[in-house]
Amino acid sequence: MAWQSRSSVTGDFTCAGHKQTAILGTGGSDVVVAVFLNGLNRKPEELRFNIFEPRFAHLKTESLDYKLDCELPGFQRSKTCVGLNVADDEVDSAHLYWDHISKRFGMWRL
């Protein structure tokens, strides 16, 4: 796995009141987002995708201050917490949010 240091982002992804770090990695046909929920010295939560072109994949934070037309399990709108957006500008982005019910990341795409 080749980690893309330029893709590193920080934000309060879990609404726990502190900053976490996420980074994008690519290897073969996989795109991986590693999210360090408990500091950089602990094992990250890894989210794997094979729908994106690894050469063009990128990661950014996005606001969670929006209302969805559908109901997402555990989604909570927030003005202070942020989600993650994984894209390659070829297919629809993956929007990652913290699922407050299951205590793990959820995802939606158009």
- CA dist 24 and 2 (Å) reads 9
* Number of domains making up the chain: 1
pLDDT at position 103 is: 96
Pairing of strands 30-36, 20-27: antiparallel
pLDDT at position 1 is: 87
**Other CB atoms closer than 10 Å to residue 94's CB: what's the count?**
20
Instruction: Determine what percent of the chain falls in helix, strand and coil, rounding each to the nearest 5.
Output: 5, 55, 45
Whole-model pTM?
0.93
pLDDT, average across residues 87-96: 95
Range of the domain at 16: 2-108
pLDDT, average across residues 71-96: 95
For residues 92 and 61, is the Cβ–Cβ distance under 8 A? no
